[in-house]
Structures are given as C-alpha cells and as structure tokens.
Structure 1
C-alpha cells in the first residue's frame, strides 16, 4: 500500500512522563520480550489473545502513546519480523490513526492463513474492515468462508468485494446468477450488466458473449445499453467482435417485428462493415416489412439501388429513406414556404399544402432535393398545427415534454442555445425563457430520460430508456474536455451527491482518468499535481480506492520545474488552497514561493502563514517592493490597500497615506488608458472599479481631506481634477468638502463669472451635439447589442464558468456607467456660443498670446472646456490648473504663479476670440 494520506513511520520519542503512560510502555516491552524468549507457537494463539491486545490498544490511544508504541514495535520487528504482538499492535494503531498502510496486518493475517487458523483469520479480517473496506481483507475472508464452508457469509462478502475491486468480474457474474436463481431479476440484470463491462475491460470475449446472450434473454428491449456496450467492444477488442454481438441481438427484434430497431441495428453493422452482404440483404427485407403499405415501395428500392452491391450502401439507404418519407399526410419543410403537408402523390408528382403556398405541385426528384421531411411531433409542425396559446401553455407547464420535442426535432442533439432559438421569441418571451431555462437545465441534469452526448460538451439527447445518475455523471464527464471541469464533476460525485456511492464502475472509470496522470509522467505539470491532490482527498474518505502506489507530494513538488507557474495554471480554487498547504509542508524554500505567488494570487492566508512562521522581515521587504513598484504589482498593490494595510502598517513601512492615494490615482489613470487602448480590458476594468470604489465609494479620499493639511490636499486634488478616469461629479463633490474646511482654498476657475452653478461647466455647440449623438448611439445601438450578447451568452450554460457571459456583463456595466456619466454631464453642460465670448479677459472661448518671461519665448493657448481640451494642440480647459491661473489675466497683465512646484511668469500680449 502507499502513504497517500499520511506518513505512518513513527519517530522515536522521549519516554512518557506520566506514571500510567510509563506503565503501559513497560507492559508493551515486557510482552514483546516474553514472546521473543518463550517463542510461543501459532497454535497457542486464540482470539482471546487479540481481544486482550485490543484492550491494551485502547489504553495506548487514551494516553496518546501511539507513536511511541509503534516506534517500539518497529524496532522489535527489525529483529523479530514475524512477531505476532508487534505486527498486531503496529497495524491496528496505524489504522486507528487513519494511516493507509496496512502492510503489517497483511503480513500477520497471511501467517495465520498459511497455518489454516481460519477463526483467527476471520477475526483479523473483520478487525481490518472495522476501519474501512479493504480488498485484501475481503478476499481473505472469501478464502476463509470457502474453507469453512459458509456459503451464507460468502455471498455478503461477494457484494462488498465487487464494490471495492473494480477488476473483479467472475464474482459479479456469480452474484448475477445467484440473484437470478432467487428470482430477483432486477438485481440480476444490474449484476450481469456490471459483469459485461468488466469482462470487456479484461478483453475476455467468450465471457462477454455469454453474458451478452444472457442479457438478451432478460432485457432485450434495452437497446441503448447494448449499443453502448457494443461500441465499447469495438473500441476495446475489435469491430468484428462488435458485429458478432449485434448479430446475436438481431433475431429478437426481427422475430418481434420491431422494424425500427432491427433497421437501426443493421445500420450499425453496416457502419462497421459496409460490404456485409447479409446485413444489406436483411435491411432491404426490413424496409419491405416496415413500408409494406406504401404504394411506391418497390419503385423507391429500385431507384435507390438498395439491392445493388455496386452502390455504396449508406448512400443507397439515404436515398431510399428520403424517397419513402414522401407519402400523403406527411409533413415537409421548405426554406421559403415553410411547413407543408403532402396532399397526394401521383406517379412522379407530389401535391403539397404549404403555409404560404397552397396546392403546390412539384416532381418527386425536386421534392427529394428541396424539401426536408418532418415528423408529426416536430416543433415546426407543432408551431404550425397547434394554436399558439395552447402550445405556449403546454411548453410552460410540461417542460420535460417540451425538451423532448425540441431535442428530437434537432436530430436528438441540442444545447440550450439551440433550444432557445426554437422557443424564443416565437413561443416564449425572453423574460419567460429566463425562468423556464433554469428549470430546464435542472431537468436535463437530473432527469434520467435525458443524457449528455459524449462527444459534444453541453449537448443533450433524449434517451430511449432511462439511465442511472451514475451513467449520466459519466456521460457528462466524457463530454467535458477541460481537465478542471472534469475534476469538478468527480468531486460532485464523490463528496456532494448523497444518492450515489463512489464504489461503482462509472466512478472507477472517472477515477482512473486522474490516476493515469500519476502512473506515467515525464514532467510534473498542473494536471499531475492536481490529480495527486484529488486522489489523496478521495482515498482519505474512501481508502479502498487506493490506486496501489505511493503518492509522495514532496517528490512531486521537488520534481516540478517551476512550482509558481504550475500553481498559476491551476484554475480550481480548492486545489490551489491545498497546493499552498503542500508547498509549505514539503519545500524548505516555501516562503520565497509564497511571495512569488502572491502578486498573481493575493490572499490573506499566504501572508498569515508567513507571519505566523516569523517571516516578518521578508513580508515587510516584499510590501516595500510592492509600494515602490506598484505599477508592476497592480493587483497585489490594490488588494493590499483594500484588504490588508492598516494605519499601523503604513507607519511601519513609512508610507504616508498621501502617497498611497497618489499611487492609486496614477494606477486608475493607467488602467483607464489601457482600457481605451483595448489592452487586457477585462482585468483593467475590474481593477479600475476596485480602485474607484476604495477611493470614493468607501470615502477614503473624503475622509483624508477632512483631516489632512491644506498643502497635501492641494497635491491630491490636483491629480484627481486632471484624471480622465474620475467622473466630474466626484471632483465637484470633493471640492465642496474642501471648501467647507478651507473656505479660501484656491480652486481652478475660482471667482470667475463664467463658473456656472454648482457642478456646471462650459462647452461649445459642436461638442454638445457630438456628446448627444454619442449618447444616442449608446442607447440605440450598443446597449441593445450588448443585451443580445448577454442573452446569447446566458444560453451557453453554467454562468460561473461562462467567459462570454462575464465579458458581456462587464461591457454592460461599462456601458451603463458611460451612459449615466454622459447624461449627468449633458445636464450640467452650458453651451457658449461665439457671440457670448468676452475678449476683455482670458476665459472660455479665447485664444491668448503670452510672453514667457522666464524663457523670453512667445506661447499661445486656446482656452476651452474639459470636453474640448487637447494639451498636445495647446488647447487647455479653463478648469485645468494652468487654465485656472491664466483666467485671472487681462491684456497687458503680468501673471506669476506656481503649479506642482513649477514657477510660471507671463505677460499677456493679446486676447482673441476662438472661431468655432
């Protein structure tokens, strides 16, 4: 066995201090020495001896002496390897502590088996089984009961063994025969099916065929089961063997005159062997029987060349089935005229009543190429034939029926997106669909009449016969190609579903998928590590699933080329958490790894583990690096500020809160610019939202302004005012906060006549019109398109893992924010026309010519509003720091001021109106 859950090698410890504990240790040593010197024979051992040892074990456990006693026994076994007492004490103590290693008890039991002491063998096996199902113990009990001739006990062990030993097939077959003999056919059939699959896995065709024929006699109607097994035989053994099995099943359907199933079976044979003359001859005969009423039967057989061996059999079948489907009363579909019903067929002419074209005639040849035949239960037929309200009521009230109709109408393969396209908006409104689809998804997942297609993710089919929940889970598992989605499915099976047990063949097949990653690997990647963690977790709860080889996390992690890279590639949250635990437990360099992971996966547990292990200086150094290089550590920096840093931390790091706020404002602007440039938009939107929420929704800036010095407020507010990522409304609200505290605080544009009422600003007619048009475009085009994207993405499946849905919702949030901001700005904007411009002083709508007295150079600026501002073209906002200072001047004035520690000195040479 292996050490997948815990290591069970005890370490030598100091002698226990309490008198009772010392007495127990003394007794153990005495018993081992006595056994060694007296050399008690096996024949002298009775069950009573082991029961006495059980009492001693309870005392050992009560005094927490398990490790000490195991160490003593381990040392004793090095010299006396077959010591009965040492083997028993060590083994039971290991099981008591949930260690997986039962090798000492296996050795002990084998000693008594070899000496035919069956009563003690039974006792030891049952003792092992008290701690969980165990293949060795169960198989040994079988030998015991066989030797003791106890058939009544034998059968109960059979049932337990096959639940833990997935390779055992003969006993499964024996159980099936027993249940059949007792008259319990339902259980007999289940066991025969299980035996069939296990014989297939073992590639034992004679056994397969024997069980196959037995199942034909017991449940011949379960065609889906037979076809599933037949496909497995074709894949595992050969297509020829699959044909042999199908040929065994065919006589039942032919004798019963179930022509549909007989034809389906023959088609499967012809898929494997298109030259099979027997199958071709039989399918022609089946068609003759099925369509014996059809007036054109022989003609359609002739023109399709169905009986001619030179014609490809699949093409011939396709031609025949197209022709034969055209009969009076049947429904057809034309892409322009819609659904129609065939009125009559005379010679080579078909007359059809279409919804949009009554009494239309066309040749048979034309009909075959232009029309699609529909069943009477096809959703298109029902939409045409049933009153809309009646159909709508039926679909809303009987969701399983509606799902069957739609899925079968779509060639029995449909996902939620295709189902929606058939129902919305022709029958259900989008709002009705949202409610209807939730229940529909639950039904598709839980109802045994629906199954998942193994080769198409999220596609469903209607099953001819219900399948078990285990089979549905397995089909879901097979259809899912993503490793971590598969991991979620097996976790749901093993830990969440109460109605199923992991001891099934379906679970074994899923479990083996993950075991295979550990059996042979060249490099340790995210799949190997995740499989190891998952398997350890499963066998901790179900020890009998132990794959039989050690899973040593230390070895795996040591062999991993880049642990951080592997960690980041894992998308399963619980696996990530457990991997962090294993990294700390097994790698001495775990602190460095933790700090390398944190910038990409910021979580409190990483920091707590580091500090609890006294790596305070390393954490502090890391924090300083994040604060210094916040642009490189964006996510980590924002997470720390929002979730971890306290005033005490800022003091420890000598980081003034002003610096934190300025860094966040800069980072917000960087994110905004990246979003505008469509650079990693999703991540930047998320980060920008977090920054703005912290700064303004949680009022950290406002609280800072209520206690900070005026000079510091001026520096922070200047950055906020210049930021494109921050709404003007927030800027004006903060201005009010500052004014209440510092009534004489110098704001941009303060004291100017052109300052509109609170929260207002000036703009040109052209800019106002452009913003109105942009708002109209967002409302009429972008938002409706986004709503459509959300609806389509929602139909794709599980919203938690739906990237399309998340992206569409993020875009919706951005659109709503943009629309809200635009509406607010349009309400506050005051349009200034050219006739209103005052050139007696610098202000909105003026072009100013200045002489820079510090450089003796001439400079020219156009003063407009925030919507028109473009510093690269010397167009500045009258609300900007520079615009605010210039707006104090008249022609001939000398202006001297400082902005952000830079001195300016100008003489106003001229003020001209701007033409716009």
Structure 2
C-alpha cells in the first residue's frame, strides 16, 4: 500500500521518534485549512500548526481557537473531505443554507454520500438543525423535501422514523436495487418495509418473472429461518410476498417456496395471536386460505375459534369467508350461543350491530341488546381503564340501532330491555332518556315504563300451554333438522349453476336461508322465555289467562263465548284468544257486569259486557 505524502516538518518528528509513521501521515492531512470532526466538539477547521509547541489549533463551530496537543489531535480527530456536508457546513454555511432552499433533493443526496449511502432521519435532522435551519424551519423543509423525493427512485425514503434513508446506485435496475435493499435489511420488519417499497414501485420492474424471483426466494428463506422465533412478523412478511406476487402478476413462486398454507398449518395453535398484528388489507388473504389450510370441516372450527380471539378487523373477514362458503347458518348458530353465554368480544358485538341488515341479521334481536348492556355493565363494575368505549359509542350514537332492535320484538322483552336501560349505571341521565325516547318512538306502548306502576320483571315470562310448547318445539326441530339443512343443499346445488351475480336460484336460496335463520332465532328465544301451564286452578273473579268468558254485545244483545289461553294458543275458528291479542288485552281484568271496548274487523271497536267467567280446565288433562 502506498503511504500518503508526509509534511517535511512532520517527517522530522517521525524520524526523531516523537510520532509513529501512521500518526505522522494523519497529522500531515490536518494541515492548515483542512476540515475535521471531533466526537464531542463536532466539526471544525484547522487554523494553525505549532509543531515546536506540540499543538494544533482548531476552529470548531462552537469552540473557536481550541488548542490540542499533537498526539491527542491525531488520536481524536477524523479528517473530513472537502465535499463532506459537515465540512461544507463549517466552510460555507451560507452556501449550504441556499442549497437547502433551492435544491433539497441535492442536499439529501450529498448528506447520504457523506454517510456511506445510508443515514437515519435523526442524523439528518441533527446535521440540519439548528445550524442550517432552525427547528421550526426544518419541519416544513423536510415535508417539502419528502414530496420532492417521492419520484426519485434512487432514494429510499423510510415510512417509519426507525428506518434508514438510503441512496441507491442510479444506474442499477430498480429490481436489482430493491432486491439489494431486501437482502441488506437487518430484520423482518426492515425486510417488510423493503417489500412495501417494492410494491409501491412495481411499475419500474420490467421483467417481474425474472427480477422478482430472487426477491421471493429471499423472503421464503428468511421466513423459514425466523418463524419459530417471530411468527407474527414472519406471517406478515409471507402475506406481503403473496400480495407482491399478485400485484406483479407473477404466475408462480419459485419451486420450493414456503407457502402461507404450510406456515398456517405448522402454527395452528398460535395463529390467532399472530394474525392480530396484520394490517386490515392482509387479513382477507389469510382467512381466504383457511379452507385449504384446514380441510374438511376443520377450517370452519378454526374460523369460529378466531372470531372471539381476534380484533374487529378480522371479524368481518372471517364472516365474509364463512358466508362465501355457504356456512352462514353455522356462523348464526355460533353467534347465538356466544350471545347467550356472554362470550362475545367488544369487536364482535360492534360488528353484529353494523351487520344487522347483513350477515348478522338472523341474530340481531333483544338477546344481543341485553348482551351489549351486560358487557357495558361488567366493564363499568370492574372499574379501571374502560375497554368498551367503542361499544358504548356504537350503542348510543347509532340512532337507528335501538329502534330496529325493538321494532318486532315481543312486548314483554322490550319492556324488560327498557327497564334495564333505565336502571343501568353505565349511562348518564341524558343518555338514558335519549335511548328511551328512541325506544318509545318505535314502541309507544312502552311509555308506561316511565310510570311507577309499570309491570315488574317477574311477570314477563311468556305463558303458553304445554300443548303449544310441544308443538313449537316440533316446529323448531323441523327447522333445524330438515328445512335449514335442505336449504343449505339447495344453496350448494344452485352455486354450481354458474355466475353468482346472475344466478337467480342461488340468490333465492340465500334469501330463504335468511328467513329460516331468523325464524329459528325467534323460536329459540320464545322457548327460552316460555312458561308452560295446564291452566288448572286459575281464579274466576275476573277475566284472566285460563278462563272462559261469556260476552254480550251491548248494542245488539248477541252473545259469544271465548277462551283466553296461552301466547301460542290463539284460534279464531275455535273462539280461542291468545292473551297477547288485542281483544284479550281489552277484557283481561274485567269482572262480571263490567264493560270493555274490543276491536272489530273494520279497525273500529264495539262495546261488550262480561256476563260469565269460569275456569277453562278444572283438572289436569289426561296424559
């Protein structure tokens, strides 16, 4: 190696044994006017040599005229080339300030070249502020510089503060340069950032099949080595690779590449936690391969398992995959059980509210409303940081939610729901009144809830005859075991007819599925709330459930007899009234001799008088 020329004066010191040759060569570069940098005092310029006095004088930016012993200077100073930005800041600060304003890209390039082609954004800011620009000037300058750098493909601007600003060789092909970024990336997150940049600049790749092959191989190799230690980022990187493949329209990955299906199968137990870290845009790809990763019915079980363990963004994707594979009935059954057992996450409850006219239509009912109130109340009682703030906002700020929830619900269920709203400590008084206002606007009969004498919750069971209860159970069994399974087969058959967008049979079968699932939920809810009775031993002092009533039309004198029985026993042909019917409500509580206005078929009313009351049944029916 050829040694650098040495100053004659320094040569004498070396020959005299006062300096080593290496130190002599370095000292010779620190000639008057040379630029240098000290790790503590920063950049400076050599002002004076005093070899006889064993010192060198440096004008540092913030410490002019600083004298240093020769040996100390040689050991602690680094010589800067004249074109280094620190040298230019010391020697021509005015020119550097002008460059910052006129050519921010040129200044960034010069900064990168001064730092080996890579530097952090913090390093750039320390160089610029406050010498070249003030702190406030730097923020606006960097914003403008980023815009100018956007189209400069040879400069990689990091998406995150923790990543590096990188200068590429301008004559390198985009694919080669970006591959180099990927290979040189130090960890999974850095490699993921490199893939993101590559995807953004995919239009610069002329031959994706050829240029991206080493990219795909590098990613597969990296993930194969890393997933056991860092599954979340490994999964993220592999999904990003598949997204890149689609974006670049590359037909096949290189032979032997690790696939998403293989990674998912290998990590089934940890998959839900790993998926939680994925961006929303990637979640759909993960869940769409579930049927392939976990064949037969395993993918359905795995999907439902994820529903209660993943975030809100995943919930919608899982539901979409189940729906696309004609498993909406399975989803509905899972949601119903989860609602009853209060096993739903805040995200899932919010999703069900948003999807009340879509995938969650069959389970959007009073059970869901009570589950939401329970979740909010549990959080309120627990104290500490609130976990259900978004759920509370969804419930109170969506003005259509409560009205749609109570519109077709049983009156007793709505009454109980209203009482919970009035009694819950979760909401302030204004919010409670607002919610009740929405409820009463939809169900005006609930205005009585505001009165002190409103019905107690203990009286709200649905009274039904044992016979009608058994009949309802048989109807539910037929739905669950015959009609819904047959409908599912019809959907699968219709799917084979072709394009689903123009497939009338498929659309019709799916619409019928929604009807059947809603009916199933209704029957199940009613049976849970039902209280069976044989009507034996009822009082006859006034009209009530389980009585036979003789009526006389006050205007015409015509006589008629009706039996007031359970909620599901109504049969006009046999003069049997459900106690929930309007006519029954009009006469219940009346005594012999009292009058009531009952509805007519023409939407009017007629006045009748109670002339007799007796028990419908005095002994239990024969088994």
TM-score by length of structure 1 reads 0.38
**Is 2:215 aligned against 1:507?**
no
Asked if the contact 1:530–1:575 (Cα under 8 Å) also holds between the matched residues in 2, the reply is no
Asked if the contact 2:220–2:257 (Cα under 8 Å) also holds between the matched residues in 1, the reply is no
Which residue of the partner structure matches residue 645 of structure 1? 356
2: distance between equivalents of 1:479 and 1:595?
A: 40
Q: Secondary structure at the match of 2:289?
A: helix
Asked if the contact 1:448–1:467 (Cα under 8 Å) also holds between the matched residues in 2, the reply is no
Which residue of the partner structure matches residue 296 of structure 1? 10
2: distance between equivalents of 1:693 and 1:607?
A: 23
Residue 694 of structure 1, aligned match among 378, 394, 409: 394
Matches within 5 A, 1:112-191: none
Asked if the contact 2:216–2:253 (Cα under 8 Å) also holds between the matched residues in 1, the reply is no
Cα shift readout 1:55-95 (whole Å, capped 9, x = no counterpart): xxxxxxxxxxxxxxxxxxxxxxxxxxxxxxxxxxxxxxxxx
Asked if the contact 2:35–2:79 (Cα under 8 Å) also holds between the matched residues in 1, the reply is yes
1: distance between equivalents of 2:277 and 2:165?
A: 28
Cα shift readout 1:267-296 (whole Å, capped 9, x = no counterpart): xxxxxxxxxxxxxxx232xx12xx5x6752
Q: Secondary structure at the match of 2:370?
A: helix
Which residue of the partner structure matches residue 861 of structure 1? none
**Is 2:50 aligned against 1:346?**
yes
- Which segments of 5 or more consecutive residues in structure 2 lack a partner in the other structure? 441-446, 453-623
Shift of 1:593: 1.7
Which residue of the partner structure matches residue 580 of structure 1? 287
Summarize the Cα distance change of 1:304–1:592 in structure 2 as closer, same or farther, 3 Å threshold. Answer: farther
Summarize the Cα distance change of 1:467–1:430 in structure 2 as closer, same or farther, 3 Å threshold. Answer: farther
Q: Secondary structure at the match of 2:278?
A: coil
**Is 2:2 aligned against 1:283?**
yes
1: distance between equivalents of 2:25 and 2:381?
A: 65
Shift of 1:623: 0.7
Which residue of the partner structure matches residue 539 of structure 2? none
Q: Secondary structure at the match of 1:673?
A: coil
Shift of 1:644: 1.7
Shift of 1:385: 5.0
**Is 2:185 aligned against 1:480?**
yes
Residue 596 of structure 1, aligned match among 305, 326, 345: 305
Which residue of the partner structure matches residue 669 of structure 1? 380
Summarize the Cα distance change of 1:346–1:412 in structure 2 as closer, same or farther, 3 Å threshold. Answer: farther
Q: Secondary structure at the match of 1:547?
A: coil
- Which segments of 5 or more consecutive residues in structure 1 lack a partner in the other structure? 1-281, 307-315, 676-683, 748-916
2: distance between equivalents of 1:533 and 1:351?
A: 56
2: distance between equivalents of 1:522 and 1:630?
A: 35
Q: Secondary structure at the match of 2:47?
A: strand
1: distance between equivalents of 2:110 and 2:258?
A: 49
Task: Give the root-mean-square deviation of aligned CA atoms.
Answer: 5.2
Shift of 1:338: 6.1
Which residue of the partner structure matches residue 275 of structure 2? 568
Cα shift readout 1:764-792 (whole Å, capped 9, x = no counterpart): xxxxxxxxxxxxxxxxxxxxxxxxxxxxx
Shift of 1:513: 1.8
Shift of 1:576: 4.0
Summarize the Cα distance change of 1:387–1:667 in structure 2 as closer, same or farther, 3 Å threshold. Answer: farther
Asked if the contact 1:490–1:507 (Cα under 8 Å) also holds between the matched residues in 2, the reply is no
Shift of 1:582: 2.7
Matches within 5 A, 1:249-264: none
Q: Secondary structure at the match of 2:32?
A: coil
Residue 422 of structure 1, aligned match among 115, 127, 150: 127
1: distance between equivalents of 2:403 and 2:67?
A: 82
Matches within 5 A, 1:487-636: 489-490=194-195, 493=198, 497-502=202-207, 507-516=212-221, 527=234, 531=238, 534=241, 538=245, 541-543=249-251, 547-548=254-255, 562=269, 564-565=271-272, 568=275, 571=278, 576-585=283-292, 587-589=295-297, 590-599=299-308, 600-601=310-311, 602-611=314-323, 613-630=325-342, 633-636=345-348
**Is 2:176 aligned against 1:471?**
yes
Cα shift readout 1:594-629 (whole Å, capped 9, x = no counterpart): 211222153334324434544344222311233234
TM-score by length of structure 2 reads 0.53
Which residue of the partner structure matches residue 365 of structure 1? 71
Summarize the Cα distance change of 1:412–1:294 in structure 2 as closer, same or farther, 3 Å threshold. Answer: farther
Shift of 1:588: 0.7
Which residue of the partner structure matches residue 30 of structure 2? 326
Which residue of the partner structure matches residue 395 of structure 1? 100
2: distance between equivalents of 1:522 and 1:460?
A: 27
Asked if the contact 1:339–1:384 (Cα under 8 Å) also holds between the matched residues in 2, the reply is yes
Asked if the contact 1:668–1:692 (Cα under 8 Å) also holds between the matched residues in 2, the reply is no
Asked if the contact 1:661–1:716 (Cα under 8 Å) also holds between the matched residues in 2, the reply is no
Cα shift readout 1:811-846 (whole Å, capped 9, x = no counterpart): xxxxxxxxxxxxxxxxxxxxxxxxxxxxxxxxxxxx
1: distance between equivalents of 2:237 and 2:66?
A: 64
2: distance between equivalents of 1:633 and 1:593?
A: 17
Asked if the contact 1:452–1:476 (Cα under 8 Å) also holds between the matched residues in 2, the reply is no
Q: Secondary structure at the match of 2:334?
A: helix
Asked if the contact 1:702–1:734 (Cα under 8 Å) also holds between the matched residues in 2, the reply is no
Summarize the Cα distance change of 1:666–1:458 in structure 2 as closer, same or farther, 3 Å threshold. Answer: same
